[in-house]
Amino acid sequence: MPLTSIHHYLIRSSDIERSRAFYQDVLGMHQMPRPDFPFPGYWLGVGQEAQVHLAPSSVDNASLYFIGSPSDAATENSGVIDHVAFLAHDPESVMRHLEQQGVAFRPRYMAQSKLFQLFVRDPDGVMVELNFFGIESDMQWVGEDYNAMPRVN
């Protein structure tokens, strides 16, 4: 039973409307149909795939609904996830869009993989990685170079 791709991740958001706006306005996702769960939330996606689920950080009976995170997950805990990554295209356009939205980003580049990355944080502090493959290294905006980083032996 091999895995093929990420299906979704759920964020218990401290401000669900602010998070919804980030994923829609900054990352270009749209709202997807969502079942009638017993708690409020959003499903956001690209194309026909729901990729980000948002739920409020604190609701009555939270321990029944959110079995993967403690009650203080949205305010006191970043959990064990370091980041969530999405494939993307047209990095120059994405960077312009992030700048227009006032969203800080951190660029990185790995020449051997022709991989350019942008890292942004969502309103709840989740690190979101945008991966752009097939990018040549002669660009002026490649950011941090993985090859120049110290190695762990």
Whole-angstrom distance, CA of residue 53 vs CA of residue 31:
10
User: What's the whole-number mean pLDDT along residues 124-149?
Assistant: 78
Q: What is the DSSP letter of 115?
A: E
- Asked if residue 101 has pLDDT above 90, the reply is yes
Eight-state DSSP code of residue 126: -
Q: What's the pLDDT at 100?
A: 96
């227009």: which residue's tokens? 100
Q: Model confidence over 111-124: pLDDT tens digits?
A: 878 888 898 988 88
Distance between CA 15 and CA 23 in Å, rounded?
A: 13
pLDDT, the chain, mean: 81
Name the range with the highest mean pLDDT among 2-16, 66-80, 95-109, 127-141.
95-109
Q: What is the DSSP letter of 112?
A: G
Strands in 42-46's sheet, in edge-to-edge order, are 9-13, 49-56, 42-46, 30-32
pLDDT of residue 103: 95
Residue 77 scores a pLDDT above 70: no
Q: By mean pLDDT, which of 37-41, 68-72, 113-117 is the weakest?
A: 68-72
Listed residue (78, 59, 76, 63) closest to 11, CA to CA: 78
- Total residue count of the chain as it appears in this document: 153
Total Cβ atoms within 10 A of residue 53: 19
